[in-house]
A and B are shown apart, each in its own frame.
Chain A
Amino acid sequence: MTTSNGAYGNADATTAEKRNMEGTANEAGVASTDESLNARIKTPKSKRPNTWVIIVAVVAVIAIIVGVVAVVNGRNAKQSASNNDTVTIGLKLAPPSLDIRHQSGSAIEQVLIGNVYEGLLSRDSDNAVQPGLAKSWDISKDGKTYTFHLNRNMTFSNGDKLDADDVAWSINQLKEKQYYNANQVESLTKAEAVDANTVRLTLSAPDSNLLWYLTGRPGLVFDKDATYNAKTQAVGSGPYTVESFDSASKMVLKANPNYWGAAHKPATQHVIIDFITDDNAAVNALKSGDVDVLSPVNATLAKSLDPKTYKVSTADGSDKFVLAFNCANSKLKDKRVRQAIRYGINHKEIIASRGGVDAALGGPIPSVDPGYEDLTDLYPYDLDKAKQLMGEAGYSTGKPLKLTLTYANTYGTELGDQLKSQLAKIGIDLNINYVEFSTWLQDVHTNGDYELSLVDHAESHDFYKWTTPDYYFHYDNETVQSLYAKALAATSEKDSAEYLKQAARTVSEDAPADWLFAYRVTVAYNRNIKGFPSKLSQTVLPLWQISKAE
């Protein structure tokens, strides 16, 4: 007694509906032969637009956006290209603030000295002393009294008068508050204004470096009557004023309308300094015209620049990559170990791997400083000699000496890896401690707690670090100290340089460090830029002379 139309309906209908639910091909199609079921099938309310129409619409929208963006950009690019009262310079390192009296680093000096702040004296691109706010000076016979004759009618960017009072106040403040680099002019006891245009400096002992140091931070002159936040603002007497500054992106400098010096009138109204840390990003910025100058540029990447459009040049500087050996450490007290390391390092290989532009350096004085001589032949690359010295000290490749190299991650891992593999050959098992710069400062520089350290000592005229035993080198040699004292006391430049030469040679022979290389800065700029200094642009960057041709 079965009926075909029972409580569960037509067996056929269920399968048909299931097929319909899953079927995507004919959604609106007729799925069942049963008319009553077909009538209950839900059909999509609206017709689905064709997929192709959607795709075409999307492509069209994207094309329009790209087109509009391209046009807008093209217009902007043309605007900036025709803008020849603005020069844009790409630098790698940004000053963290504008506070040149407190904040360390060469970046702040490079940007501000000579451009925004001016010193009693200035420095040219050959690292020689030139007049600054002072047009001339006399030195007493005993070398203890310096008299500076100032230029007339000088003003600060805020309109205040700049005279001998400001100069004397700035230098006395430096000494009293122990501003940055005050230790460079320790022998200076006081500054006094003789009259409105004359300043007299009194020294406790002659110092042949004094004039050069006065071209840097110790010689800077500030407005004694002005109050401003020195970290974010700058009131100086230079040809430019700081319009805006953000250490993460850029500094905008504007020509100072009140500038007193007719000789250094800015050639360009606006200078924008872009801070670009990434090397690739920097080269892309130059190629796209976002910057006109790159200083420095990665030497390897610079090879991809078209020489017709860009000028690429490399020059000597004062950067010394110093692999310091902690002379107070028990393992490194042994001179043979220190000498072995110096013989065991293949400087040519290291320099070649960095693009081949850096120079070998055999001692503590760089080629741009007085007292330089080529000392690279003192410790030439000599594996046999290095192994022999290590053997005498009691180590071999089978029984290696364990040492730790601590250095900051700003320098790249390659240097440590290279040293590790080179020193492995002479029986040194080098452990690399790759740290943040601030950790390096704490552990190595402040606490002196290290075995080997690697850092770029960028400053010029910094031989005093080898005569100060509490500096982190812990290098204490009386011969060197007395030679340096003689160099400072010498009243003739030639004698002074001669003493420095002897001192540098003694230091190098003693092997308290190895000088891996002298970093040579490569700069690249568009050929329509005129007046960019070919040398020492990392420390002396006179912006007033830079201009851009139509």
Chain B
Amino acid sequence: MGFVAKRFGLFVAALFGLSILVFVALRILPGDVAAVMAGTNATAARIAALRTQMGLDRPLIVQYGDWLAGLLHGDLGMSAISGKSVASQVGARAAVTFPLIVLSLIIALLIGLPLGCAAVITRNTRLRGLFHALAIVGGAVPALWSGLLLILLFSRGSGLLPVLPSQGFPNNGWANFGRAAASLVLPALATGITAGAGIMRYTRAALGDAAQSQAVAMAMACGMTRRQALLRVGLRLSLPQLVSVAGLTFAQMVTGVMVVENLFALPGLGAMLVTDVGNRDLIAVQSELFLLAAFFLLLGLVVDMAHRVLDPRLKNASIGSGEVL
């Protein structure tokens, strides 16, 4: 319990620090939302009037106080450009990005885990070489390129085997579950392959280390075959590491799927951030970044907890020893 409370305290402190960091970092950017809204025909007076109207001419500390007070009340603010609440905007985008990330991660794990294990288990040097090559090539393939290839192969309309939609998200979103899910398959494959190769490398390394460990030797001494020892004892030993890697991969994908979202014309979180930063819609951007950062921190928290569950040896360890994120 003590660990959970301490870890949570750390989480809250980090969130507060983050809010300052995000706020300050964004004010360094040149340009502002008033100039963007006013466009290329605007006079200086017009831009100044818009700035006043949007409250951009108030002192920064007041603006920060306003924002923080809103956050404490659970109010993320409004986008100055679109006029929608940040919460609804993020919600709508997350409904595309998160299913996409989860699907990509499942594909990545389905590819990475078995191949990584197989690469350690096999004793055939040629097969090992093949796995090695797969890991390197798979990891080197940019998701943009594999995405284009997948479009050429499977997209409805222009593909060789036209089975899946490759453009956009259905008009009514998840109300049409089949279409919505189908539109995520190709993009998820594109990111899943690259991430899968990464997970495969990590699995191979972690299991390879475990294979050298005395625990595996002990298991074999007790009569398990090498394969049994690796899969039952070795894999369990490397599980905390793999959970961290899966957590990191998940976090990376939030921005990593951006390129693919763009290619498949999916309205996701990445596109939203790029547009909002481009428009200098700073109230929206700072709340969005804050949410994302809070999500990463939460992910770290979950990974830490998972470590404790998976590795009984950490039960008495203090904060700092088992953290990965």
Chain A residues near B (Cβ < 8 Å): 21-24, 27, 40-42, 44, 66, 69-70, 72-73, 76-77, 96-97, 99, 102-105, 178, 180-181, 183-184, 229-232, 246-250, 252, 272, 274, 276-278, 280-281, 284-285, 287-290, 436-439, 441-443, 445-446, 455, 457, 459, 462, 470
Q: Of A24, A252, A285, A445, which one neighbours B168 at CB under 8 angstroms?
A: A285
Whether B267 and A246, one on each chain, are in contact in the complex, defined by CB atoms closer than 8 angstroms, is: yes
**Max chain B CB contacts within 10 Å: which of A70, A104, A181, A248?**
A248
Contact B41 A73 (CB under 8 A): no
The residue that B167 contacts in the complex, of A44, A231, A285, A457, with Cβ under 8 A, is: A285
What are 20 A-B residue pairs whose CB atoms fall within 8 Å in the complex? A21-B220, A73-B156, A73-B164, A73-B165, A77-B156, A97-B81, A104-B37, A105-B39, A248-B271, A248-B275, A249-B169, A250-B168, A278-B265, A284-B167, A287-B157, A289-B157, A438-B31, A438-B36, A446-B35, A455-B40
Q: How far is A183 from B43 in the complex, measured between Cα atoms in Å?
A: 8
Closest Cβ of chain A: how far from B31's Cβ, in Å? 4
Q: Are B82 and A442 touching (Cβ within 8 A)?
A: no
> Does residue B68 face the partner (Cβ distance < 8 Å to A)?
no
Which listed residue (B45, B158, B279) contacts A438, Cβ 8 A?
B279
Partner of B31, one of A66, A281, A439: A439
Size category of the B interface is 35 or more
Residue B47 lies at the interface, judged by CB distance under 8 Å to chain A: yes
* Residues A442 and B32 in contact, CB atoms below 8 Å apart: yes
Q: Which residues of A contact B168 (CB under 8 A)?
A: 249-250, 274, 276, 285, 290
Binding site for A on B (CB under 8 A): 29-32, 35-47, 49-50, 81-84, 92-93, 123, 148, 151, 155-158, 162-169, 171, 176, 178-179, 182, 185, 220-221, 223-228, 262-265, 267, 271-272, 275, 277-280
* Nearest CB in chain A to that of B167: its residue: A285
Given A40-B223, A439-B31, 17 additional A-B pairs, CB 8 A: A24-B226, A76-B178, A77-B156, A96-B37, A96-B81, A97-B81, A104-B40, A231-B82, A248-B267, A248-B272, A252-B171, A272-B171, A281-B262, A281-B264, A289-B156, A437-B36, A470-B44
Would you call B263 and A278 a contact (CB within 8 A)?
Answer: yes
Cα(A191)–Cα(B150), bound, Å:
59
User: B33 CB to closest chain A CB, in angstroms?
Assistant: 8
B225 touches A69 (CB 8 A): no
Chain A residues, Cβ within 8 Å of B49? 178
Find out whether the CB atom of B163 lies under 8 angstroms from the CB atom of A104.
Answer: no
- The listed residue (A42, A437, A455) touching B278 by CB distance below 8 A is A437
Contact (Cβ within 8 A) B92 A246: yes
A357 to chain B, nearest CB (A): 23
A459 touches B41 (CB 8 A): yes
Asked if A457 meets B158 with Cβ closer than 8 Å, knowing A246-B92, A284-B166, A285-B168, the reply is no
Give chain A residues whose Cβ lies under 8 Å from the Cβ of B37.
96, 102-104
Partner of B155, one of A183, A184, A288, A455: A288
Q: How far is the CA of A183 from the CA of B38 in the complex (A)?
A: 12
A505 to chain B, nearest CB (A): 24
